[in-house]
Amino acid sequence: MILNIVLIVAVALVFIALVYRMVKNKQNAEVEKTVNIDDQTYTLKKMTEYIKKRLDEITKVNLYDLGLSEEELKRRKNKKYELKKALKGCTYGDVNDKKYVKELIYDILSKEYGVDETNISKSIPFDIPSLLTPQDKFDIIIFMYKKEFGYEALTELIKKYNLDTLKYVAGDAKPCYVITEEEINDIYEKEGFVLTFDDKLNVVVQRIYQHYKGYSSIDEVRDMNIDGVSGGVSGLPESFLSQVAQTDGDYLNEVMEHKVPRACDSIWIFFQGKSIRLAFLSFGTEAELKRVCQNIYKYNNPGQLSDTNGYKINEMKDGSRVVVVRPSFSETWAFFVRKFDVKRATLEQLVRDPGKEDAIALLKFLVKGARIVSITGEQGSGKTTLLMGMIENIYETMNIRVQETAFELHLRKIYPTRNILTFRETDTISGQEGLDVQKKTDGSVNIIGEVATDPVASWMIQAAQVASKFTLFTHHAKTFPDLVTALRNSMLRTGVFTNEKTAEEQVVQVLNFDIHQVKDFRGKRYIERITECIPVEDKNEYTFDHRKEKTLEGKFDKFFDNATHYFTKTTDKKLYTYRNILEYHDGEYVITNKITDHNIQEMRLNMDDKDLVEFDKFIEDHWGVTLSSNDRPSEILKTQKAGKPKKTNE
């Protein structure tokens, strides 16, 4: 009897313990409806801490302990999975995941945390403009502009108030591109925004999100349709502070009072060819800059950024290219995000100055004529964007193979029905190996995003000779002779050739045309010239005149004439000439010298009937050469137009 009672009590205690555990777990899974309210409750810091804790609870709760029905359990599991996926994806630059996380934060603050019209101004003083910081004002401006213009918001703001013009700033002796606190204050005052509670809460949500899962002060800026954004590239690094303290205490005080910019105050945007410093924005601390650098490159697990591996090159989920560097490789943590707007990469949108019709037609004919073309220019001059615009004119029947350091062109986004495959370098696969693989993938056109290393330059020359119909590539050369010299030296350094002249001869026989892009001081980007490479034919200039001489002295003279020719060819042999087919003069594109007959013949062979007629007309209009589409390309009838001046250029 007693034993039965003991068993009953034991079972009851176990049952009570199980019920208690289930209730406790459910309470842990559910947020307390009551929030301890004090003076700090509705500050950004407190709300950020609460959001972190709340989202952590949602993603880590054990749903099987809640005693849910099968349908509810499935629904909660899907919600939990979706949130975990979004929390991970939003750190990679996925705007859809970012939107999902922000909407959840919005709901938590409004429905659970008790944020309302009366207390929201404790986080950001919306009702007292004098207390708003420049960042507060900028966040409000961008939010309101984004409601109307979407991701063109920053572009519209800059254009409306001419923020991309050169200006003098206190402390700078020379003009620079900068957007100052005073300009943001003036814009905010002029706009006179009237914010609803929904607008205010959305601004607060963005501020919380960017310090929790976003990219701090550049989070919204990075999403905009601009050319790029970078941080940590100016100002005083923390490592310098100890050196300054030993030499100049007053200067150190100015740094500590934020009168002198620090590295974490460095935020720059790349806008239509101009690098503009956002002087009103800051990461606040070196730790925040470090956090952004450690997160911004993580898409697709590219490996760890460490002291021994001090840089990473990767892409983000939206196709942006990101480069991150860290000490001790660089003097401070820094990142560079470059964006490529695939929707705008058409020749008609890129070439806009007078004479553009001729320039665009020539670019199209070079591609349709299957010419090997290099696009040269400095960083940021628009080489990659122009390359994207030219690819549109490659015939649909040609298979395209692309080799890049990081995915930038994203051609399959623009042409999803075409036969295109892109390769890139990895830690274990070099660009040379990638190009070797590319050779075996039935490609008609090789496109190399950037010829940046000797092996890639060497292979590009070899592949252009035998592996594909034609090749397009970019390079950083400043002049055409520099391009030839750089490619020649790459061939020599990789050991493909040991003789300088032989290597150069191979380069000039392969290279047909060079398009040189320029970005001027004001950020304007244009094609400076299109240059044709003309290999010099190796003529036999030796004679047998010594046989006609009667005297030994005469024979010696003729022998030395031949010897002079030999040594001239050996020591100073001219392997190529070059001339500009198109130039940019006084803001206008001008067609200058005629394309050589050899290239005209080769181009005509590769064009379809419609393009052939247009090309023949282009040649006749500009150089007075009449061609018939019925003629074989070798049978070119040259008839110079009477009275038309011949344009020359060297």
Split at pLDDT 50, 70, 90, the class of 356 is very high
Q: What is the pLDDT of residue 588?
A: 93
Q: Is residue 118 part of a domain?
A: no
Q: Which residue has the higher pLDDT, 3 or 626?
A: 626
Domain end call among 84, 113, 142: 113
Chain center to CA of 451: 16
DSSP secondary structure of 7-20 = HHHHHHHHHHHHHH
Same domain, 336 and 373: no
Same domain, 529 and 583: yes
Q: What is the pLDDT of residue 35?
A: 55
Same domain, 44 and 179: no
Q: Is residue 503 part of a domain?
A: yes
Q: Which residue has the higher pLDDT, 566 or 449?
A: 449
Q: Which residue has the higher pLDDT, 322 or 627?
A: 322
The domain that contains 179 carries what CATH number? 3.30.450.90
pLDDT average, residue stretch 13-27: 57
The pLDDT of residue 555 is above 80 = no
What gap in Å lies between CA 422 and CA 447, rounded to an integer?
A: 9
Residues 417-463 pLDDT 10s: 889 998 888 878 877 788 788 878 888 898 988 888 888 888 788 77
Measuring CA to CA, which residue among 412, 387, 411, 389 is closest to residue 471?
Answer: 387
Measuring CA to CA, which residue among 537, 539, 535, 538 is closest to residue 484?
Answer: 535
Q: Which residue has the higher pLDDT, 69 or 31?
A: 69
Q: Is residue 130 part of a domain?
A: yes
∠ CA 441-443-444, nearest 5°, is 160
The pLDDT of residue 409 is above 90 = no
Q: What is the pLDDT of residue 538?
A: 64
Q: What is the pLDDT of residue 30?
A: 44
Same domain, 379 and 354: yes
Q: Which residue has the higher pLDDT, 168 or 210?
A: 210
Q: What is the pLDDT of residue 136?
A: 94
Same domain, 316 and 291: yes
Q: What is the pLDDT of residue 541?
A: 67
How high does pLDDT run on average in the chain?
83
Q: What is the pLDDT of residue 91?
A: 87
Measuring CA to CA, which residue among 176, 163, 175 is closest to residue 221?
Answer: 163
Domain end call among 286, 320, 342: 342
Same domain, 423 and 332: no
Structural domain count, the chain: 4
Where is mean pLDDT largest: 27-31, 104-108, 412-416? 104-108
Residues 572-594 pLDDT 10s: 667 889 999 999 998 899 999 99
**Is residue 328 reached through a cis peptide bond, with omega within 30 degrees of 0 on the bond before it?**
yes
Q: What is the pLDDT of residue 33?
A: 43
Same domain, 363 and 492: yes
The pLDDT of residue 268 is above 80 = yes
Same domain, 153 and 245: yes
What gap in Å lies between CA 627 and CA 237, rounded to an integer?
A: 65
- Any long-range contacts for 460-468 (C-beta under 8 Å, 24+ apart)? 460/435, 460/487, 461/487, 461/491, 461/506, 461/507, 461/510, 462/496, 463/435, 463/438, 463/439, 464/372, 464/510, 464/511, 465/506, 465/509, 465/510, 467/438, 467/439, 467/443, 468/401, 468/443, 468/444
Q: Is residue 619 part of a domain?
A: no
For residue 548, the enclosing domain spans 540-573
pTM (2 decimals)? 0.74
Q: What is the pLDDT of residue 649?
A: 43
Split at pLDDT 50, 70, 90, the class of 641 is very low
Residues 320-348 pLDDT 10s: 889 999 988 998 999 999 887 656 578 98
Same domain, 219 and 327: yes
Q: What is the pLDDT of residue 222?
A: 93
Distances (CA, A) of 381 to 102, 517, 527, 598: 36, 6, 9, 31
Same domain, 276 and 157: yes
Domain end call among 327, 342, 357: 342
Split at pLDDT 50, 70, 90, the class of 29 is very low
The pLDDT of residue 611 is above 90 = yes
Q: Is residue 605 part of a domain?
A: no
- b/e for 576-612, b at 16 or more Cβ within 10 A? bebbbbbbbeeeebbbbbbbbeebbbbbbebbeeebb
Is residue 373 helix, strand or coil? Answer: strand
Chain center to CA of 484: 26
How many Cα atoms sit within 13 Å of 99 on the Cβ side?
4
Choose the weakest-confidence range: 78-87, 237-246, 394-403, 456-465: 237-246
The pLDDT of residue 296 is above 70 = yes
* Count of other CB atoms within 10 angstroms of residue 197: 14
**Maximum separation of any 2 CA atoms in the chain, in Å:** 146
For the chain, give the percent of residues with pLDDT over 90: 42
Same domain, 579 and 566: no
The domain that contains 482 carries what CATH number? 3.40.50.300
Q: Is residue 613 part of a domain?
A: no
Q: Is residue 500 part of a domain?
A: yes
Judged on CB neighbours under 10 Å (0-12, 13-18, 19+), 359 is buried
Q: Which residue has the higher pLDDT, 224 or 643?
A: 224
Split at pLDDT 50, 70, 90, the class of 638 is very low
What the block records as the tokens of 514 is 């060079």
Q: What is the pLDDT of residue 98?
A: 93
The pLDDT of residue 198 is above 60 = yes
Q: What is the pLDDT of residue 109?
A: 92
Q: What is the pLDDT of residue 408?
A: 77
Same domain, 445 and 527: yes
Q: Is residue 403 part of a domain?
A: yes
Residues 490-524 pLDDT 10s: 989 988 888 888 888 889 988 999 999 998 877 78
